[in-house]
Structure 1
C-alpha cells in the first residue's frame, strides 16, 4: 500500500520515454501518493496513455506541456504548481525505468527527518552500465565538489533525489539556465551555495537495452558541451562566492 503525504510528492518529468513509462508510474504509485508526471511535449503518444491512467487514479496527476522545453523546465513547471498547492518537497525520478521506485519511501523518510536538506541518490551501477557514462560522470562530480568546497555531493548527475521546493524555485527563477540536461548538476551546486546541505543515499541505476524498452536522449557532443559551459559559469560563480563558502566551510 502506498504512503500518502500532504507535503512530499513524486515528480516525474517525461519526454518520449516509450510505453515503459506506464510501468514506471505504476511502480511509483505503488510506493507513494501523490505522483505527478510532467509530459514535456512528448510526441510518442504517451501523454494520452498517461492521462488515461490518471483518469482512474485520484492520486496521479498528469501535466502536459505544449512543447519540449527540457528536463529542468519540466521540473520547474511541476514544482511551481506543487508549491501553489502546499507541497514542500519533490522527489524527482526519470520516466524510463532506470530509477528504483522501491526506494521512494526511504528517500522521503530521510527528507522528512531533515526537511532543510536535499536527499541525493548516489548511483550503484550494474555490469550493463556503459563505461563511458560511468567514468565520464567523474569529471562533472569533481567540478561540482570543487565548486561547493566539498560540501558532500555524492553524485551531481543522478536525478533520483528529493528537493526542498521553495529554495529550488527561487534559484531557478533567478537565472535563465538549468532548463535542460544541465539541470541536475547545476541544481545541487546552487542549492549548496544557498546553504541547502546534501544527504547521500545509495540507489541502484539500470541502463535498459533497446530490447528492454530503454530510451536515451543523451547526445554525447551536445550534452557534454552543455555541461562544459555550465561548469565554466559555475566556476566563475564559485570564485565570486569563495569568501562566504570558506566561512561556511570553517564553521561546518
Structure 2
C-alpha cells in the first residue's frame, strides 16, 4: 500500500507545499478582528486554504480578496447573502470536489479553533481516508458553562442516535470530512444548512458507515474585549438543535436494524490511536 500523502518538509518561515487532496475550508460570517490571525495561522500550517464568505457585511470580503491576490495558496469565495454555515460548507466542498480534492478540514474564522493542529488532523485523515476526524474540545476556564453543559446533552443524543458509534464531540467544528460522502448526505435532504450542520453531519455520516477518529483539540473562547464574536443565539439555536435531534432520533429508529447489524458484524475500522 502506498504511503499517505504528506506535505513536504518545510524550512522555517517557508509556505507549506500544496496538497492535491486535502484542503482547509473556513466558512466566515462577520468574524471580527480574529479573522486575520486565523487566516495567517491556517496558511502557516497548510495549503490550500479556502474561505467561503457567507454574506458578510463587515467588509472582511474585501480584505480577504486582497490577501488572495497576493497568496496563491488562498482562495476566497463570496456568497451574495448569508445562507448559514452548512450551506457555506456545502458550496465550498462541491467546488473542491470538482477540482479533485477528497477531504476538507473545516474550522471557524473567529480564532476559537487551533490552527497549529491542522497538520496533525490532516495526517490522521491521510492515514484513515475513509474516516471523519473529529476534534474533541479541551476547554479552558473561560468557556461559558452553559455552552459546555449543552454540549454534553447534544453529545449524548448523538451517540444514542448512532448506537454508540464513538462520536467524541458532536458540535465542535474543527474536523476533517471525506468530501464525497458528506456531499451525498447533504444533497439527500434539506437540513444541515445552518447551526445544525456540525452535529447532523457527524450523525448522518456515521449512519452512512463513515467511522470517527477522535483527537483532542484546544478551544478558546474570547471575550468581546479580546475581539471575540459569537453568532450563537441561545433560544433560536437551541430550538434548532432540539428539532434536529427529534428528527435524527426518528431516523435512528428507522435505521436501527441496520445499525444493529453493523454492531453484530463489525467491519474493519481505522486505527484510532493518534
Same fold (TM over 0.5): yes
Alignment partner, residue 31 of structure 2:
17
Question: Please, what TM-score do these two structures have when normalized by structure 2?
Answer: 0.91
Distance 1:181 1:3 in 2: 33
Counterpart of 2:231 (choices 198, 217, 221) is 217
Counterpart of 2:255 (choices 241, 244, 249) is 241
Counterpart of 1:189 (choices 174, 193, 203) is 203
1:64 aligns with 2:39: no
Counterpart of 1:91 (choices 105, 119, 129) is 105
Counterpart of 1:199 (choices 197, 213, 229) is 213
1:149 aligns with 2:191: no
Deviation track 1:10-68 (CA, whole Å, cap 9, x = no partner) reads 00000000132121011000000000000000000001011111110001000000000
Alignment partner, residue 46 of structure 1:
60
Alignment partner, residue 77 of structure 1:
91
- The offset of 1:237, in angstroms, is 0.3
Contact preservation (8 Å) 1:19, 1:46: no
- The offset of 1:251, in angstroms, is 1.6
* Runs of 4+ more than 4 Å apart: none
- Stretches of structure 1 that go unaligned for 5 or more consecutive residues are none
Counterpart of 1:55 (choices 54, 61, 69) is 69
Distance 1:250 1:52 in 2: 54
Deviation track 1:61-80 (CA, whole Å, cap 9, x = no partner) reads 00000000000000000000
Question: Please, what TM-score do these two structures have when normalized by structure 1?
Answer: 0.99
- The offset of 1:3, in angstroms, is 4.4
Distance 2:17 2:216 in 1: 21
- Stretches of structure 2 that go unaligned for 5 or more consecutive residues are 1-13, 267-274
1:138 aligns with 2:152: yes
Contact preservation (8 Å) 1:9, 1:90: yes
Aligned residues, how many?
Answer: 252
Distance 2:223 2:204 in 1: 33
Contact preservation (8 Å) 2:18, 2:73: no
Q: Pick which of 14-23 and 52-61 moved more.
A: 14-23
- The offset of 1:101, in angstroms, is 0.2
Distance 1:209 1:241 in 2: 42
CA-based RMSD: 0.6
